[in-house]
Structure 1
Amino acid sequence: MKNRYSLLIIVLFTLVSCKKDNQENFGKSTDTETTKKISGQELFEGKGNCVACHKPDQKIIGPSIAEIAKIYKENKGSIVAFLKEEAEPIVDPSQYDIMKTNFAITKTMSDEELQALEDYIYSYSK
């Protein structure tokens, strides 16, 4: 019987402690990622793994970042729309099937992350 009361006290203490934290942070963002500026370069080289196929000034598997930026700028295309699979490829359509495998990664990215990637790519336009 004593064990039941001890367990009950522990559970109540835990609930009360959690409730207090929630009330103190009510209405405040506790997610540090939303307040931190997302780096397109970090996404390109990390989470997106874009660097595996795209280099700044040379074609490896896919076109260079500079070429992507130039062509999308000239055609007023949306890199974000392409990465969401909402737009056709305009740089090298013959490589589209290879790129399609990466949409599994880009579709998990937020709009803010995709915009950061686009901004990073456009930083290579001349």
Structure 2
Amino acid sequence: MKKLFLLSSFFILISCKKESEESFGKPTESNTEVKAPEALGKELFEGKGNCVACHKVDQKIIGPSIQDIAKVYKTENGNIVDFLKNDAKPLVDPSQYEVMKTNFAITKTMSDEELKGLETYIFSFSK
């Protein structure tokens, strides 16, 4: 009888495991969430990229405003991703290029998806 009780208790404990244990090693919603490019770009612009230190939406701080960048790159049919990879010359305020060069260490570590997100975010201000 004692063995039967222990065996039943064991099976009950196993069958009542927590939901978090069931998802161990499996992707969950939070780590598989795919962000829209603009949302990803905004997150990078304000976070990892630290772009907000020099760029504001509607005014020049150290670098040109996001609105000015978007306008010039749209007008000139420029490629922001190439610029952030340091594969293209600056189209907006080339006099600040030397300051921006220090940030290429950050942008060069970003994936193409992240860079495209930044571009999408910036172009969202040209509307």
Q: Tell me how far apart the structure 1 counterparts of residues 87 and 64 of structure 2 sit (CA, whole Å).
A: 20
Unmatched 5+ residue regions in structure 2?
A: 1-24
Q: Tell me how far apart the structure 2 counterparts of residues 60 and 92 of structure 1 sit (CA, whole Å).
A: 12
Identity %: 69
TM-score by length of 2: 0.72
Q: Look up the match of 2:83.
A: 82
Q: Tell me how far apart the structure 2 counterparts of residues 60 and 90 of structure 1 sit (CA, whole Å).
A: 17
Q: Tell me how far apart the structure 2 counterparts of residues 84 and 71 of structure 1 sit (CA, whole Å).
A: 18
Matches within 5 A, 1:30-109: 32=31, 35-37=33-35, 39-109=40-110
Pair member with larger Rg: 2
RMSD: 2.2
Aligned pair count? 100
Q: Tell me how far apart the structure 1 counterparts of residues 47 and 108 of structure 2 sit (CA, whole Å).
A: 15
Deviations 1:73-122 (A, max 9, x none): 00000000000011000101110000000000000000000000000000
Q: Look up the match of 1:16.
A: none
Unmatched 5+ residue regions in structure 1?
A: 1-23
Q: Tell me how far apart the structure 1 counterparts of residues 34 and 91 of structure 2 sit (CA, whole Å).
A: 32
Q: Which amino acid aligns with 1:36?
A: V
Q: Tell me how far apart the structure 1 counterparts of residues 125 and 47 of structure 2 sit (CA, whole Å).
A: 18
* 1:36 CA displacement: 2.0
**Secondary structure at 1:73 match in 2:** helix
Q: Tell me how far apart the structure 1 counterparts of residues 94 and 59 of structure 2 sit (CA, whole Å).
A: 18
Q: Which amino acid aligns with 1:78?
A: N
Q: Look up the match of 1:13.
A: none
**Secondary structure at 1:54 match in 2:** coil
